[in-house]
Amino acid sequence: MRLLAFGACLALVPVSAWAALSDEIQVYDDDINAPHEFGLELHANTTPVGRSTPDYPGEVVPNHGLRLTPEFSYGLTRAWEAGLYVPTSFDPQGRGSLAGWKLRLKWLPIHGDEGAAGWFAGANGELSRLQSKFSASRDAFELRNIIGYRADAWLLAVNPVFGWDLSPGYRGAPDFSLGVKATRNIAEKVAVGAEYYSEMGKASHILPLRDQANTLFAVIDTQVKSIGLNFGIGRGLTGSADKWTVKAIFAIPL
């Protein structure tokens, strides 16, 4: 059922605490809105085979779930961009729920013109409030560092991410995770490659590799008519990761 729902979502496009909601699965690169430019992306992902045991009472588990998240963004200056996520979640029976909200502010002081070769670097801060069934700590803050290099034919981006739980009883050392993306152009507006995500534990205590949640995605970045598309199929590499995940990000022109 979830796969059918996910496929229906794809068809709409004319010919992108540990138990955190997987509302967006992406590695940030040199993409940023131009000043006064609005942006809209739809994040979609489903877990055909994933974790089915709750980490805490009342948690919504990812197995067979579908997450749909519209992301609204606005370019403030050449280096600053604001954004709003509105995550939703659907269980295997198709029952939907508004998970909460996330506000973000991206700072990218080092980057070239769109698609131009060169280094890029910056950071993204994100403040979120989610229902307790999607995150043990309802309030959280994430600092995502962004660094990478774009060449004529390939792209490499790395995101070291620190996440702080802000709700009473959950505060302490930040969680640490890592996202890496490497793609190569194979045709005009078509790039293929891999994305790697690792949830490594607390920054003060990195977990042994076998206890980390590590996932490797085969991805394609392309454009279908005027809509940008990032599509990936992910395989969990460790027992703590969901075994299979399918994700897509649609960049919808406004």
Average pLDDT score over the chain? 91
* Number of domains into which the chain is organized: 1
pLDDT above 80 for 90: yes
pLDDT at position 10 is 37
Rounded to an integer, the average pLDDT of 84-105 is 95
pLDDT above 60 for 34: yes
pLDDT at position 114 is 84
Tell me what percent of the residues of the chain surpass a pLDDT of 90: 85
What's 116's domain CATH number?
A: 2.40.160.40
pLDDT above 90 for 8: no
pLDDT above 60 for 247: yes
pLDDT above 80 for 12: no
pLDDT above 70 for 5: no
Supply the pTM of this predicted model.
0.90
Q: What is the pLDDT of residues 120-160, one digit of tens each?
A: 999 999 999 999 999 999 999 999 999 999 999 999 999 99
pLDDT above 80 for 80: yes
Structural domain including 103 reads: 2-252
pLDDT at position 11 is 37
pLDDT at position 19 is 52
**How is residue 243 written in tokens?**
């075994």
Q: What is the pLDDT of residues 96-123, one digit of tens each?
A: 999 999 999 999 999 998 878 999 999 9
pLDDT above 90 for 21: no
